[in-house]
Amino acid sequence: MMHHLKQSCGTGYVSLIFFLSAIVNTASSITHYSIPEEMEEGSVVANLAADLRLDVKTLNERKMRVDVVANKKYLDINKVTGELFILERIDREFLCPSKTTSYCVLKLDATIENPVRMFNIEVEITDINDNSPHFRRGTMHLDISESSPVGERFSLNNAADPDVGTNSVKNYHLSSSEHFSVEIQTGRDGTKFADLILKKPLDREKQAVHNLILTAVDGGVPTRTGTASIIVRVLDVNDNAPSFEKGKYVVDVMENSPIGSLVIKLNATDVDEGSNSEIVYSYSLYTSERTQKMFNLNPENGEIRVKEMINYEDLKLYEMEVIASDKGPNSLSGQCKLTIQVTDMNDNHPEISIKSFQSPIKEDTPTDTVIAVVSVSDKDSGDNGIVDLHIPEKMPFKLRESSDNYFELVVSEPLDREKVPEYDITFTVTDRGSPPLSDNETMTLELLDVNDNVPQFPQSFYTIRVMENNAPGALLSSLTAFDPDLHENQYLVYFIIEKEIANTSMSMLFSINPENGNLYALKTFDYEIEEEFLFHIEARDSGSPPLSSNVTVHIIIVDQNDNAPVIVSPWRAHGSVVEEKIPRSTDKGSLVAKVIALDTDSVHNSRITYQFLQVTDATLFSLDQYNGEIRTMRMFSYRDPRHQRLVVVAKDNGEPALSATVTIKLTTMETAVKAYSDMTEEPLEYDIFSDINLYLVIGLGSVSFLLLITILVTIVIKCQKPKPSKAAPPSRNSVISERNSTIADSTLVSNDAYWYSLFLAETRKGKLVVRQPLPKGSRYIVSSIPRGTGLTDTSDSAASTLQYPK
């Protein structure tokens, strides 16, 4: 029934509960608890079931609940233990914001059913010191007159503290100040107020603003504080009189000074502010009318200016007294005395006369040579009649007094026309009057040139790059020298200093225009024959005696890609196909052939790369683009054709690139190739040396390709001479094949893997292997040449050979 009423009646159910509670327990009392604010959530207030004498075991069955008479449910009951615990943190200042009383109560209604009973519970929330005092305004401004008496009070804003009792504001402290202190006042409601007390007279001129800190302290444990700034601005009173920097001034004024000229500006200061510091200047009664007639005093800025023309002969001295008054309510004033002394005027200018002046002169004129005589004079007397003669500083001349008022101008330093071709010499004569008067005379001194400068090239060393295959007569560069002298001393002629290179004079290779220094090439240069030239060019002037200088010229011949690669291995007759035989049982990765090409161009242009142009089966062979090695990528299968055609192109690194091709026809055999172990008395080292130094081969070929042909022809001629029947002793550096050979040219390796293995073995030992044909074609010889000395070094030494009879 109760459940039905709760669902159907809504809020009326609560009224029914109160009605039933009154019936069941009309004499119920109020249970009171007291707890501090800000307790942690879950904190136990008391065992409510025990205090109400209820059986804990029936709380859940009897549906016991606690309703808080407030906006939030701060407390709840644990139906298992019967304990009343904190459900939400309680803030006493929020719950009871009024400070009229420190008593703050949270009312609860505890209800159980079967039978229905209601219990009234009051939980008193006691205050803790959880709030600091604070001022409604963080900064307070006070304006206090500097004439305020000691002991005067000034009210300050009080601090507020939401806490109550001893936790509220109890005291105020003022930061250290020699002029102010604070006094505590208590209101009728117990609120603490603070009054600011003036304890020492103020002086605005010493300190215009006082910055103070007021601190409010509560009575909690531990105490809490709050602060506010107090800015006291001291208001000015007219308590300071204007004052001058000096009590007496003495100034000099020149006679005939222009009317309106400033004599002196008097400056009085007043440390007050506002109208109390504004100053007015005036003459005192002690100043004569004649003085006031000669000089005008500006009342606003204190300037004293000439009012009438001053004559030294009329009066030499003027005295006056000036008063400075402020504009305060009770005006204060100060005064000073001023003495004006009239100075006699220097009104005669000195005179200068040039008696003799020699111009032009040679730039090699010796020092101490007299070039001018000058006289000076002045009609004034005393200091105004004493004169001094000067010429500009930093000139290679000086004045030397020869007699009274006569001076000689002499050379003091060596002259150089190339630096300064002429001098404008200003003679300035000045008297010693006050102010001094002066006069000047300017003379121009010209310098004549002498041949004292050698021709100069902009650079001491010229590097000129010339592309090979140049046209004869081509302009290479303009080597122009400069001579700072004049006329014939600066006319230059250019020569090539003779030097012979390989019985060839430089004048046969190069030509220079003797007038402008243009350098020309007389022939076409070939980088492969000559890479550079070093010679000197002389520039000679036409002075007397002539002077000359020379410069070093370095001609660098720049390579063009004008030589195509030449395939030297595998060797083949012109236009023929290279045929190689390999067994079909060759393993994967086996070396089939090696293509080697040489290029006589420079290192950059002769860098060669290899690639397949045509290949019968691209899956069967691989070509290393750098060393030209052709290897099997897999083993031969029965499906692979017996004949394989490989076209390899060797391309250089020039621009545009040049290339050469070779065609290799491979024939696979079912049986292995016959071993050649019996061809030498001493077995070869058969190491596989796959990473041959490509750059070494290129370098050797590029430097000595032409010499190599000469060497090979020489060896062929020597081989055609009759040889003794006795065979030469065996050597590791040479091998003779018993094959019949029809080779018409020499090559680096043979046409089979054996010769390439021999090439690798000898190359690893630092030697270059060369196969050479014999005249009758019955056999061929392989020679090893030391690699370190280059091909040119082997032309005079016979290669080590082994001869093998038919």
Question: pLDDT per residue over 534-587, tens digit each?
Answer: 999 999 998 888 999 999 999 998 888 888 888 888 877 666 688 888 888 888
- Does residue 657 register a pLDDT over 90? no
**Which pLDDT score is estimated for 192?**
86
Residues 520-540: b if buried by 16+ CB within 10 A, e if exposed: ebeeebebbeeeebebebbbb
DSSP, collapsed to helix, strand or coil, labels residue 564 as coil
Higher pLDDT, 123 or 754: 123
- Whole-number percent of the chain with pLDDT over 70: 80
Flag the least confident range among 72-76, 375-379, 574-578, 724-728.
Answer: 724-728
DSSP, collapsed to helix, strand or coil, labels residue 530 as coil
Q: How far apart are CA 139 and CA 135, in angstroms?
A: 9
Higher pLDDT, 781 or 535: 535
- Does residue 741 register a pLDDT over 70? no
**Residue type for position 450:** V
Segment 354-375 mean pLDDT: 91
Segment 211-235 mean pLDDT: 90
Q: What is the dihedral of CA 517, 522, 528, 534, to 10 degrees?
A: -30
**Which pLDDT score is estimated for 256?**
85
Contact 191, 216 (CB under 8 A): no
Segment 510-539 mean pLDDT: 90
Contacts of 721 by beta carbon, 8 Å cutoff, 6+ apart: none
Q: How far apart are CA 486 and CA 448, in angstroms?
A: 9
**Residue type for position 795:** S
- Does residue 189 register a pLDDT over 90? no
**Which pLDDT score is estimated for 87?**
87
Q: How far apart are CA 736 and CA 410, in angstroms?
A: 98
- Does residue 754 register a pLDDT over 90? no
For residue 711, give the H/E element and its range.
helix 694-719
Contacts of 226 by beta carbon, 8 Å cutoff, 6+ apart: 132, 133, 134, 135, 159, 161, 215, 216
- Does residue 802 register a pLDDT over 80? no
Segment 56-64 mean pLDDT: 86
Enter the tokens of residue 310. Answer: 């001053």
Residues 377-404: b if buried by 16+ CB within 10 A, e if exposed: ebebeeebbebebebeeebebebeeeee
Higher pLDDT, 226 or 743: 226
Q: How far apart are CA 23 and CA 30, in angstroms?
A: 17
Enter the tokens of residue 486. Answer: 């004049």
Q: Is the dihedral of CA 11, 13, 19, 21 positive or negative?
A: negative
Contact 765, 585 (CB under 8 A): no
- Does residue 99 register a pLDDT over 80? no
Give the pLDDT band (50/70/90) at residue 763.
very low
Flag the least confident range among 69-83, 118-132, 197-211, 622-636.
Answer: 69-83
Residue whose tokens read 């703050």: 104
**Which pLDDT score is estimated for 18?**
30
CA dist 783 → 596, 686, 756 (Å): 18, 17, 14
Flag the least confident range among 12-26, 334-348, 472-486, 638-652.
Answer: 12-26
- Does residue 109 register a pLDDT over 50? yes
Segment 255-276 mean pLDDT: 90
Contact 623, 630 (CB under 8 A): yes
- Whole-number percent of the chain with pLDDT over 90: 25
- Does residue 744 register a pLDDT over 70? no
Question: CB count, 10 Å around CB of 692?
Answer: 18
**Which pLDDT score is estimated for 340?**
94
Give the pLDDT band (50/70/90) at residue 126.
confident
Contacts of 675 by beta carbon, 8 Å cutoff, 6+ apart: none
Segment 306-322 mean pLDDT: 88
**Which pLDDT score is estimated for 703?**
62
Segment 228-243 mean pLDDT: 89
Segment 10-22 mean pLDDT: 31
Question: CB count, 10 Å around CB of 247?
Answer: 10
Residue whose tokens read 């307790």: 39
Helices (H), 54-210: 92-95
Q: Is the dihedral of CA 484, 486, 491, 495 positive or negative?
A: negative
Report pLDDT digits (tens) over 439-454: 999 999 999 888 888 9
Domains contained in the chain, CATH given: 31-126 (2.60.40.60), 134-235 (2.60.40.60), 243-343 (2.60.40.60), 351-434 (2.60.40.60), 461-558 (2.60.40.60), 566-669 (2.60.40.60)
Q: How far apart are CA 444 and CA 359, in angstroms?
A: 8
**Which pLDDT score is estimated for 426?**
93
Contact 89, 79 (CB under 8 A): no
DSSP per-residue string spanning 439-488: EEEEEEEEEE--S----B-S-SEEEEEEESSPPTT-EEEE---B--S-GG
Q: How far apart are CA 233 and CA 25, in angstroms?
A: 72
Flag the least confident range among 74-88, 128-142, 638-652, 710-724.
Answer: 710-724
Give the pLDDT band (50/70/90) at residue 696.
low
Q: Is the dihedral of CA 472, 473, 476, 481 positive or negative?
A: positive
Flag the least confident range among 30-44, 101-115, 530-544, 672-686.
Answer: 672-686
Give the pLDDT band (50/70/90) at residue 235.
confident
Supply the mean pLDDT for the chain: 78
Q: How far apart are CA 494 and CA 539, in angstroms?
A: 5
**Which pLDDT score is estimated for 291?**
92
Contact 130, 37 (CB under 8 A): yes
Flag the least confident range among 363-372, 475-484, 651-660.
Answer: 651-660
- Does residue 677 register a pLDDT over 70? no
**Which pLDDT score is estimated for 697?**
58
CA dist 332 → 147, 326, 751 (Å): 17, 6, 127
DSSP per-residue string spanning 155-176: E-PPEE-S--GGGSEEEEEE--
Neighbour order of strands in the sheet with 518-521: 475-478, 518-521, 510-512
Q: Which residues are 495's β-sheet partners?
A: 538
**Which pLDDT score is estimated for 101?**
67
DSSP per-residue string spanning 242-307: -EES-SEEEEEEETTPPTT-EEEE--EE-SS-GGGG-EEEEE-TTS-HHHHHHEEE-TTT-EEEE-
Give the pLDDT band (50/70/90) at residue 694.
low
Flag the least confident range among 181-190, 532-541, 668-677, 756-765.
Answer: 756-765
Task: Let me know if 769 is exposed, middle or buried by CB neighbors in 10 A (0-12, 13-18, 19+).
Answer: buried
**Which pLDDT score is estimated for 691?**
42
**Which pLDDT score is estimated for 576?**
64
